[in-house]
């Protein structure tokens, strides 16, 4: 595996990382890796969420709601009453 060295890490960051490592019973190195992995995973979730929102915007543009159109609640109520 590659090695990563960090310089000039602020003291408060190192202290928080040590605190988290101790709480999770991990080494400082293992905790740093977990934090980096979580940050990357969070970025990926945000990218997917943004892509989904763009897709919804595209769908809304294709099928705009106009005043007088039934709402989702109207359609659900109509479906329930039809049974």
From CA 30, how far away is CA 28, in angstroms rounded? 6
pLDDT above 90 covers what percent of the chain? 87
End-to-end Cα, the chain, rounded Å: 61
Instruction: Please answer whether residues 40 and 30 qualify as being in contact, where contact means their C-beta atoms are separated by less than 8 angstroms.
Output: no
- The pTM for the full model equals 0.62
Per-residue pLDDT of the chain in tens (83 residues, 90 and over written 9): 899 999 999 999 999 999 999 999 999 999 999 999 999 999 999 999 999 999 999 998 998 888 889 999 999 999 999 98
**35-57 residue pLDDT tens:** 999 999 999 999 999 999 999 99
């Amino acid at each position: 595996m590659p090695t990563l060295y960090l310089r000039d890490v602020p003291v408060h960051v190192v202290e928080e990382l040590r605190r988290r490592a101790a709480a999770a019973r991990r080494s400082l190195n293992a905790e740093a890796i977990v934090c980096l992995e979580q940050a990357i995973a969070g970025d990926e979730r945000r990218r997917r969420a943004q892509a989904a929102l763009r897709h919804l915007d595209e769908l809304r543009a294709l099928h705009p709601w106009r005043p007088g159109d039934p709402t989702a609640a109207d359609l659900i109520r109509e479906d329930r009453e039809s049974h």
